[in-house]
Structure 1
Amino acid sequence: MARRQPDLLLLDLMLPDGNGLDYCRELRSEKATANLPIIMLTARDEDTDVVVGLEVGADDYLTKPFSPRILMARIRAVLRRHQAAEASGGDDIIVRGPLRIDKEHFTVTLEGTPLTLTRSEFNLLRLLARRLGVVFSRDRIVDAIHGPDYAVTDRSVDVLVVSLRRKLGAHSGLVETVRGVGYRFRTDTEQA
Structure 2
Amino acid sequence: MHTPDMLSGNISSRFSPNDKDRRIITAIAAALETNPSKAMQLFVKKQRQISDYGYWFVLSTAYVNDATAAPLATWRRLLMSSRPHRAECLMKPNELAQFQQLPDTLTVYRSYSPEQTDWLSYSLDMETAAKFAVAKDTFTVQEYQINKADAIALFLRRGEHEILMLDPSKATYIQEFAVIRENPVTGEVC
Considering the TM-score relative to the shorter chain, is it more than 0.5?
no
Q: Larger Rg: 1 or 2?
A: 1
Which TM-score applies when normalising by structure 1? Answer: 0.29
